[in-house]
Amino acid sequence: MMEGIDVHLGRRLRRRRRILGLTQQQLACACGVRFQQIQKYECAANRMSAARLWQLSEVLEVPVSYFYEGLGLETAADREPEPPEPRAQRETNDLVQVFYSLSERPRQRLLDLAKSLTETETDISGHAFP
């Protein structure tokens, strides 16, 4: 089971890093390690200490508990999907930069809009579509 925990933590690390649009090198620099160390964490070749998890949570702006979310609940069939890859990464970076350039109220309104767009809509015939 310990190996499964390391894999889960590595996946969560990779997911958050990609969501923020950071390279392994950028994350490594922020943590004072080489990018190879980040690679090893992400593929579960090396274990992350409690101190390293704390540091990563600070750099990635998530609580330490983020890394453990879903642990023990997932099976091979329902693992969380990876975020979109290269094509969407630039769009994601642009969106994040614009989002954080907004003041509080417009940022909240944009977030509300995005959430409403992801809700399932129903057409006239009653068929649901994403």
Q: What CATH topology corresponds to 2-73?
A: 434 Repressor (Amino-terminal Domain) (1.10.260)
Domain ranges of the chain: 2-73, 86-118
Provide the residue type at 76 as one letter.
Answer: A
Residues 46-98: pLDDT tens digits? 999 999 999 999 999 999 999 999 887 755 545 555 555 555 567 777 788 88
Please state the pTM of the whole predicted model. 0.58
Confidence band, pLDDT 50/70/90 cuts, at residue 122: very low
Confidence band, pLDDT 50/70/90 cuts, at residue 36: very high
List all residues 6 or more positions away from 107 whose beta carbon is below 8 Å from its beta carbon.
Answer: 99, 100
Confidence band, pLDDT 50/70/90 cuts, at residue 123: very low
Percent of all residues in the chain with a pLDDT value above 90, rounded to a whole number: 48
Alpha carbon of 24 to those of 15, 32, 77, 117, 120: distances in Å? 12, 12, 27, 31, 35
Residue pair 9/53 in contact (Cβ under 8 Å)? The answer is yes
Q: Which has more confidence, 111 or 64?
A: 64
- Please give, one letter per residue, the 3-state secondary structure of 71-105: CCCCCHHHCCCCCCCHHHHHHHHHHHHHHHHCCHH
Whether the per-residue pLDDT at 120 is higher than 50: the answer is no
Residue pair 71/39 in contact (Cβ under 8 Å)? The answer is no
User: pLDDT at position 89, please?
Assistant: 65
Rounded Cα–Cα distance for residues 88 and 85 (Å): 6
